Amino acid sequence: MMWVSEGTLWTAALTLVVSLLFLLTLLPGIREYRLKTDVLPLRVVREHDGNIINFAHGFSKFIETRFGDQLRALAPAAKSMVELDNGDRFLLLGSSYPFVLYSKEKASQSVKSGVVAAGSLEFPGQVLFEAEVFCIGNFRGGTMSAYRAVLAQGDMHLGDESVVLRWVHANGELTVGPRSELFGRASSLRRIVLGDGVKFERLHSAEIGTNARVPVAPAQIPNSCEDWQPERLADFKGGLWRINGDLNIPARSVISTPLVVDGNIFVGEGSLLSCAIKSNGGLTLGSHCTVNDAVVACKRVEVGTYCRVKGPVISEVELILRKGCVIGSPMSLATVSAPRIVIELGATVHGTIWARSGGEVRGDTCKST
């Protein structure tokens, strides 16, 4: 009979435990190899997917769920005050009932209850509306008023020097008066029109423009018939030109190969780029340039007058959009993103503008800071 020493048993036990722990680390891989669950798309919660309009969708659903039947049953010339379980109060207005301030609200120049209207709404100026506002028709706000959030199923006009604290959305056209401030998100299913001096953070619409008429563009500068070639190549891999130092591209150049430049880039007027362009420094597009892809830079980006850019325009510092330039198109929305964005009167963006530290609409004399 063979006897096993106590030390041998402990060694065998330790080896077994270590082996089991090692096998446990392989179980997720073995399971995935057999079941292949990771091929499924990630589930994205709509409220957190970055879509600007989701705030409006969520609030619209809340209004229909909580007040839909009451609004439809409310007589056109009637009103009703409803208090929710959490203590929030909402004033419900019939389709023809005008909004009127109570004497206490006039004295404090503030309205604490939310407002839900079965028709259109017109608000007075110089009043703070502390809760959400909703109307089935058009909305018109007075000058120097402030709002927490507003949703209109028709057109919306915010008076001069208005302030929006969280978000605003119109299913029709959204017009923002001069010197207003849009904190948070502003969106429209049709068009956003910004007045001079408007400050903003995040905008989205099929068309975002200003209330200035753009002068007729001068005759288009003819493009060169020959492709432009760089005088020096740092590298050419993966179908890209990689260039050291600064790069000045002559006027009326045609470029079809994507560019990555270590320094600053200046693109001469009338040039046509059917490719993406990226700079690790600053990037300037001269007037009448056309870029059929992305424009990206680590530093300041300036899109010249009457330029056309079909892809996204991104800067890690500052972005200037000169008058007459157009970013994206109604059929192909684009993204414009930078910590600071300045839009000259007459520029147009189709898609999303995201000024992470703040944006502003100005006249055509804007300069970098």
Instruction: Report how far residue 333's alpha carbon sits from residue 99's, in angstroms, rounded to the nearest whole number.
Output: 37
What confidence tier does 227 reach under pLDDT thresholds 50, 70, 90?
A: confident
- One-letter amino acid of 302: E
pLDDT of residue 23: 72
Q: Is the pLDDT of residue 201 over 90?
A: yes
Decide which of 31 and 243 is more confident: 243
- The mean predicted confidence, pLDDT, of the chain is 86
pLDDT digits (tens, 9 = 90+) for 166-180: 999 999 999 999 999
Residues 6+ apart with CB under 8 A from 170: 139, 151, 152, 154, 155, 156, 187, 188, 189, 190
What confidence tier does 8 reach under pLDDT thresholds 50, 70, 90?
confident
Q: What is the mean pLDDT of residues 248-264?
A: 91
pLDDT at 54: 80
Which H or E run contains 242?
Answer: strand 240-243
Question: DSSP 3-state assignment of 26?
Answer: helix
354's tokens: 């995201």
Least confident of 54-58, 82-86, 311-315: 54-58
Q: Is the pLDDT of residue 215 over 90?
A: no
Mean pLDDT of 3-18: 68
- Token reading at 255: 């470029």
Place of tokens 């975002």: 208
Q: Residue 56 carries which side chain, given as an amino acid letter?
A: A
Torsion (CA) 332, 336, 342, 344 in degrees, nearest 10: -10
pLDDT score of 320: 97
DSSP-assigned beta bridge partners for residue 362 = 344
What percent of the chain is helix, strand and coil (3-state, nearest 5)? 15, 40, 45
At residue 225, φ and ψ (nearest 5 deg) are: -90, -10
What is residue 359's predicted lDDT score, i.e. its pLDDT?
A: 96
Q: How many Å is the Cα radius of gyration of the chain?
A: 29
Residues of the chain with pLDDT > 90, as a percent, come to 67
* Domain locations in the chain as residue ranges: 54-210, 235-362
pLDDT in tens, 140-160: 999 999 999 999 999 999 999
Res 47: pLDDT = 44
Phi-psi group of 161: left, alpha or beta (phi > 0 → left; psi -120 to 50 → alpha; rest → beta): left
Q: How confident is the model at residue 352 (pLDDT cuts 50, 70, 90)?
A: very high
Strand-pair category, 259-261 with 348-362: unpaired
